[in-house]
Amino acid sequence: MSRQLLWLMLVFPLFLCCRPAASENGLRLGAERTELWKPLLEGKRIGLLVNHSSRVGPTHLLDTMLTLGLDVQRIFVPEHGFRGNADAGAHIADGRDPRSGLPIISLYGTSKKPSSQQLEGLDVLVFDLQDVGVRFYTYASSMHYLMEACAEENLPVVVFDRPNPNGDYIDGPVLNLAFQSFVGMHPLPVVHGLTLGELAEMINGEGWLSDGVFCDLTVVEMANYRHDSPYELPLPPSPNLPNALSIRLYPSLCLFEGTEVSIGRGTPFPFQVAGYPNPSFGSFTFTPQSGPGAQQPLQEGQLCYGIDLRQEEGLDHRFTLKYLLAFYEKSGRKADFISRRRFFNLLAGGDRLLQQIESGMSETEIRASWEDELAAFSRLRARYLLYP
């Protein structure tokens, strides 16, 4: 049995039990509202920006469109690739879908923005990816570059909207544009509380595309969706977010990626634990190992000591600095603890948080420093909400 098949057998059952039932709440995803988007695409040459999460019920969106007789010409793919199983940050190569024979063009390889040549001969681009509502998750950046490239080529973009599993709140420092990067392109807080359809409208409406270009944008909205409705994803959006708990903890634990602390990549429970090879960090132990979706993980082969957040019952797991600050205090290394300082600042959206941590500020004091900018963002967000 291949390691990849084993990984799928381990991960996929986690989601079968938590797939939301449309019959219970009436939720219909943008991709499921065929009656709205099929007339927009008939008779047109279509490009898709999709991955494994782009599904209409149990069927991939590509297969759905081909069955409907639509003229799909090529596939664009983001970080983690068409099948969604590549490592974070891993180079994604161009290829060809063996089932349909269509070319696959990577937007996470030599270039992150489609070129004029890659868009040539298309009439419309469809974007359909499952996001997790966190600023440094890169699917929103891929959407930005798709919108920008299509605006420059006068091509319309249609976004099939999907729920935000962290869409019930906003929190964290707002990005300082001096620290703009592919893990943070827009002046958003860490948790922005927007669906990608709403964010696409904000990107367009606020003139955030290069040179102020405007994208011909259509959002196929969901039906019967609310931001405060719990939603557990039917498939992992990326290899190291295997379940609902990891997705809720992701905003808080991802900041550890600027340190030497493992957050469980290379274990069965990524983004649900934190540890370092020193018993002073906690009694829970784990050992990261290379595997599908986690090649050469941080602290590979090292026995790590720390915390197991799977055991914290009754918490809503909203964004917090408490885990990071606790490890910082236990490290005793202070200035050396945040070892990848540039990457930490890109994740944090500026260098202020790093300075605050190293100056000894508490979480309450740090939070007070971003209250005004978070309130301003909340007012901006309200203008672009498509759902209550």
> pLDDT digits over 14-48, tens only?
333 334 334 347 999 999 999 999 999 999 999 99
Tell me 273's DSSP state: E
What is the average per-residue pLDDT within 189-200? 98
Task: Decide if 306 contacts 275 (C-beta within 8 A).
Answer: yes
In which element (H, E) is residue 106 found?
strand 103-106
Q: Which pLDDT value is given to residue 199?
A: 98
Task: Decide if 244 contacts 232 (C-beta within 8 A).
Answer: yes
pLDDT band at 90 (very low <50, low <70, confident <90, very high): low
* CB crowding 103-119: b at 16 or more within 10 Å, else e: ebbbbbeeebebeeebb
Query: At residue 321, does pLDDT exceed 80?
Result: yes
pLDDT digits (tens, 9 = 90+) for 261-285: 999 999 999 999 999 999 999 999 9
d(CA 216, CA 230): 31
Place of tokens 């960090």: 281
Structure tokens at 84: 């969604």
pLDDT band at 150 (very low <50, low <70, confident <90, very high): very high
d(CA 261, CA 252): 13
pLDDT > 70: percent of the chain = 90
Of residues 234, 34, 20, 7, the one with CA closest to residue 126: 34
Tell me 63's DSSP state: H
Task: Decide if 172 contacts 370 (C-beta within 8 A).
Answer: yes
Cα-atom radius of gyration of the chain, to the nearest Å? 21
